[in-house]
Each structure stands twice: as C-alpha cells, then as structure tokens.
Amino acid sequence: MNYNNPYSFPSDCTPANHRCGMTRRQWLVRGAGLAGLWALGDWRSLLRAEDTPVAAHMPKRAQNAPSLPVAIQRCESYEPALVRQKLDAALDSIGGLGPLVHDKTVTMKINMTGPARQVAGLPASRTYHVHPHVVAAVCAALARAGARRIAIVEAWYHHEPVETVLMNAGWDLQAVQSAGGHKVVFENTKNRGHWGGYTQLKVPWGGYLFPAFELNRWYDQTDVFVSLGKMKDHAVAGVTMSVKNLFGITPTALYGDDAPNEDSVEARGAPLHVNQRPLPAGVPAQLGSNPPHTPGSRVPRIVADLLGARPVDLAIIDGVETQKGGEGFWNEGVRPVQPKLLFAGRNAVCTDAVCAAAMGYDPMAGHGHFPFPGENHLKWAAEAGLGTHDPARIEVVGLSLKEARYPFRF
C-alpha cells in the first residue's frame, strides 16, 4: 500500500472481506498523512461537536430561510429509459428546466468519492458513486431544455485523464455524450484544469469557518450549477447528498495534504478535516484565533460555507440504489440498499432535508444528535438563510414522504 495515496487499496478491498484491514479512522490517518492523529484519542472524539469554538459568524435566519418544492419519484431500476422518464417527471413537477438552462452553460458536480471498488459484489455506481445512467438522464434533460454546454466535473484523486477514470469505472462515455447532444465536456477540478488560474468565491455572511474559497473556474464561469449527489450516510457529516457533495469542489491542489501541488491526488485531511496544516499562501485562511480541530465541527461548517460561496441552482439525488452505514467502501459494515428513489429540487438544503427525512432521519436534529455525529451542516445552512431544513415547510410533489420513507438505520 502506498500511504502517500489515500486510495491505493487492494483491488478487492471491500467491507465484505476486510482484506484492506482499514477502518474509517485509519483511512483518514493514512490518507491524510496525519501520524499525529492517533494521539487525539478515540475516533468518536474527532466527530464530537461539544466543546468546540463557536463559528466566526452566527447568522440566525432559519425561520425565514426560503422553501422551494422537492420532487420525489419512485424509480425501480437503473434501466436508462426508466431513469429518464422518472427524472423528467421529477423535473417537470418543479417547473421544468427550460427557463433555467436554455442557451446557458451548465456545470454539474457529480459525487464519485474515492476510486471505483465493489461493495458486496456490486459496482461503485450501485453503492457509493452516482450512477452513469442518472448522469446521462440529467444530460438528456439539459440538452432538451436547450443548454448550450454541459460540463461534468469532480475532484478525482487520479492522475489519469477523466475519460480514462470514468471508463475504468464502467461508464459508457458515448452514451453520455449522445444523451447530452454532444455538448458534454469533462474536467477534473482537483486543480485549475485548463484555466489559467483559480477563481475566488466569497461567503456572503462572512463564513462560519472560511470567508472565501479558491476554486476551479468551472464553478464560477458557468450560468447554472447542478449538484448531483448520492443518497448516503456519512461517517462525519451524518448524511451526504447534494449539499455535502460540495466538499469535493475544493481543489486538492490547494486544499490537499501536499498543497500547493497542481498534480495532487492527496486527501484534504490535514488542512480541512483536522486543521493540522496551513493552507498555501494566497488561499483565504480560516477565521478566528482558535478554530476547531474536530472533523465533526469543521466539515459541516465548511460545507455550509461552500454552499454560500457557490449556491446550487438544481439539486438531484440518486437514491435508486446506494449503501447504508457510510459514504464509501472504506466504512466498516456498509450494506447495499435499494430505496428506488430519485429526488430533485431547486434548493439544495430543502432537497437534502426531504431526502434525510425519507431516510428516516430528522434533518432538524441538533448538533451532535442522531444522525449527526458532529454538527448538522443542514442546520448551519438554514441558519445562514440558504434554505429551510424543516420538512414541514417544504412542499413535496410526486411521491409523498410517507410513501418514499426508507429507513436506513432502524
């Protein structure tokens, strides 16, 4: 195993056989290169929200946070025609895409955290990665609505070209291009990519932890931003859908453990998760004289700050097939599940709140309360006025929440 590469696990390293022998704690330690992390004690203490410094800015706007409808559709499988039909129905029920994307550039950040590995004999796309048929269905909907250009982006931990990474993960790139009217481009936003530099996006309320971020310019030089997440539990954030997906827009070239490095494939452990490495010169530093060191406090605040800096125009969640118990193959005890659901909404916080409720969770749970082992990033986002996380205030169209409910941990 190459400890300099957090994703250099054996090809058959899965929660089912434990050949890798890696817990989530060990993955962060080795992947982030944080030898001193062991000294911090039990892993649960790294998630705890108690006794951490207060956020730098504390807006209280949850009661007046906007609410937009969220669509839920039952989707029995990843059969391409069925996925397109159900996704189209979801998008039509929230107003359609024409006014949003016609003659515009659309950037879609997908969730492909970690390399493609099997979980319980199933490919990553049926467990912890978004499925390429859902990506193709989104591209088809965007193309039909008149999008001028579609960029599919993610910060992949790979040196290889994006197309190679996707084909190795089982994608049919020709099918995706055809669905998108041959308007699709791909870019690895782990660094500046084909742009001459980065763009700085500021957090409008000043930031819970960071006042601004340096990002690949696809996140700025676009008319519409889509977050395509996966319906999953998360070891640190509690849940991960369209909002937590934004943690991956930070370029590892600037926020990785070996930053600055334009060819970095390192994780963001030391600088972002545990505050044990300063960011490179010129990158906006975190706020406060005593910022927290626990991932359970840092990650939720960073996610909320990122959503403020780069608002989501369209949130889509793949819940047709997924896994419970964690966000990737490295989580012990994860199990494949089939909720057979698709979610879509124009407000990412509302969409994730409805999805969390469908998982059997309370998206309004307090910091440190189940299902959030640390702080609740949806609560932080709601307090910033980015969207309500109260399901009682959100109109659900299509399938009702009662019909959609698929408990993950009960």
pLDDT digits (tens, 9 = 90+) for 32-62: 333 333 233 344 455 555 568 999 999 999 9
Mean pLDDT along residues 75-90: 98
pLDDT at position 16 = 37
pLDDT at position 4 = 31
Q: Within a domain: residue 35? A: no
Token duo for residue 16: 């089912």
Q: Within a domain: residue 14? A: no
DSSP, collapsed to helix, strand or coil, labels residue 240 as: strand
Beta bridge mates, 173: none
Burial class of residue 54 (count of CB atoms within 10 Å of its CB; 0-12, 13-18, 19+): exposed
Going by C-beta distance under 8 Å and a sequence separation of 6 or more, which residues neighbour residue 42? none
Token duo for residue 398: 């299509």
Q: Within a domain: residue 140? A: yes
Degrees to nearest 5, angle at CA 352 with 246 and 101: 65
Looking at the 3D structure of the chain, how many domains does it have? 1
pLDDT at position 193 = 96
Q: Within a domain: residue 321? A: yes
Mean pLDDT along residues 160-188: 97
Q: Within a domain: residue 22? A: no
pLDDT tens for residues 344-365?
999 999 999 999 999 999 999 9
pLDDT tens for residues 197-229?
999 999 999 999 999 999 999 999 999 999 999
Q: Within a domain: residue 28? A: no
pLDDT tens for residues 130-156?
999 999 999 999 999 999 999 999 999
Is the pTM here over 0.75, yes or no?
yes
Range of the domain at 361: 64-404
Is-contact 345 70, C-beta < 8 A? yes
Q: Within a domain: residue 48? A: no
Does the pLDDT at position 5 exceed 50? no
What is the C-alpha to C-alpha distance for residues 228 and 85, in angstroms, rounded to an integer? 17
Q: Within a domain: residue 38? A: no
pLDDT at position 49 = 56
